[in-house]
Amino acid sequence: MQGGWVGFATFDYSRRCLVAVLVVAIAAAPIFGGDKSQSFKIPTVKIPLKIKDQQVTIVASGLVTMAAKDHGLNTANVELTADLMDLQQNFTAVLASELDKDERCGDRIEIEDAKLTPAEPASLVVVQLHYERWGCAKLLGKQEVKRLIGGNAVVPMKLTPSVGENHAELRLAAGLGPIEADGSLGELLRTGNLGELLREKIQAAILSALQKGLDLGAILPPALQDSVTIQDARFKDAGSGRLFVALDGQVRITDEQLGALAKELKDRLPSH
């Protein structure tokens, strides 16, 4: 793998979550009028998700703001914010479920502590782990097990989100920082595939949480499926070490589509 990129996933979920944000706003408030400064707050939504055997809740909210109206075509800015505090509080268990290994003849990894903190517009991961590699060989007809290498390590990593050129693709760059480790373990982490494995697994765990936690796509009206474009994605410091992720997007939709959509959703929403 080259550089700090550990790959990217096509985020249809981003399109869906932004769509859902707009959908709730339209259903809960009057259709956009001539007031270009009109905005709609999106009620807080608690989204439970399970990463292997770990239960985490992400709290999402949003805002839809009218930007322009031109000959029956409405442009609105959409912002979705997700509070990742519960993921932060359970981050050690989440990574342990992804990374812990106990192979008789092979790798043994134990995540001892993991922290996820803001570093705007990125986030910082610091993982403390214990690692051992064991080898097996037959001697006089019996299999012998021997520890080949072992020790403790602190692995820092910076995660930076961005949006692809097609405005439908979220990328997540992960760069390893200076690794602290015992003896030859440090060399193995810096030059071997173990460091790459850790980077990929950590990135995948966070990416999975974001995908599941930001997917509000219970409602996907056809009128909006191809209307939302993602402009920006970033991590935010909400104070006291609390990490948010924010997605900014834009939607263009006709008056007729807004009217039809509002009518459709009014019938679907539960009574209060």
Query: Distance between CA atoms of 130 and 155, rounded to whole angstroms?
Result: 11
Confidence of residue 2 (pLDDT cuts 50, 70, 90): very low
Structural domains of the chain, count: 2
> For residue 111, is pLDDT > 90?
yes
Q: Which two tokens stand for residue 171?
A: 């990328």
> For residue 6, is pLDDT > 80?
no
Whole-model pTM: value is 0.76
Annotate 155-182 with DSSP letters as a single string: EEEEEEEEE-TTSSEEEEEEEE-PPEES
Do 67 and 100 have their domain in common? Answer: no
In a domain, residue 239? The reply is: yes
Average pLDDT over residues 34-60: 74
Average pLDDT over residues 70-74: 82
Do 198 and 151 have their domain in common? Answer: yes
Q: Of 54-68, 174-188, 238-252, where does mean pLDDT reach its minimum?
A: 54-68
Mean pLDDT is highest, among 27-41, 65-79, 114-128, 226-240, for 114-128
CA dihedral 195, 200, 205, 210 (to 10 degrees): 130
In a domain, residue 99? The reply is: yes
> For residue 58, is pLDDT > 80?
yes
Looking at 71-141, which runs of residues are DSSP E strands?
A: 73-83, 101-102, 107-119, 122-139
Confidence of residue 248 (pLDDT cuts 50, 70, 90): confident
Do 102 and 207 have their domain in common? Answer: yes
Query: Distance between CA atoms of 240 and 238, rounded to whole angstroms?
Result: 7
Average pLDDT over residues 46-54: 81
In a domain, residue 147? The reply is: yes
In a domain, residue 73? The reply is: yes
Query: Distance between CA atoms of 35 and 22, rounded to whole angstroms?
Result: 17
φ, ψ for residue 19 (rounded to 5)? -60, -45
Query: Distance between CA atoms of 94 and 124, rounded to whole angstroms?
Result: 16
| pLDDT > 70 fraction of the chain, expressed in percent and rounded | 72
Single-letter amino acid code for the residue at 240: S
pLDDT value of position 221? 46
Range of the domain at 238: 10-87+220-268
> For residue 65, is pLDDT > 50?
yes
pLDDT value of position 51? 78
pLDDT value of position 38? 64
In a domain, residue 4? The reply is: no
Do 134 and 30 have their domain in common? Answer: no
Q: Higher pLDDT residue, 22 or 143? A: 143
Do 205 and 97 have their domain in common? Answer: yes
| pLDDT > 90 fraction of the chain, expressed in percent and rounded | 28
Q: Of 85-94, 126-135, 208-217, where does mean pLDDT reach its minimum?
A: 208-217
In a domain, residue 167? The reply is: no
Do 100 and 201 have their domain in common? Answer: yes
pLDDT digits (tens, 9 = 90+) for 158-198: 999 888 787 767 778 898 899 999 888 888 888 878 888 88
Do 97 and 200 have their domain in common? Answer: yes
Pairing outcome for strands 73-83 and 5-10: unpaired
Single-letter amino acid code for the residue at 170: L
Q: Higher pLDDT residue, 61 or 221? A: 61
Do 83 and 114 have their domain in common? Answer: no
Do 57 and 128 have their domain in common? Answer: no
Do 83 and 101 have their domain in common? Answer: no
pLDDT value of position 140? 79
In a domain, residue 23? The reply is: yes
pLDDT value of position 240? 93
Do 39 and 144 have their domain in common? Answer: no
In a domain, residue 245? The reply is: yes
> For residue 272, is pLDDT > 50?
no
Contact 216, 16 (CB under 8 A): yes
pLDDT digits (tens, 9 = 90+) for 134-145: 999 888 778 889
Do 117 and 141 have their domain in common? Answer: yes
- For the chain, counts of helices (H) and of strands (E): 6, 12
pLDDT value of position 11? 43
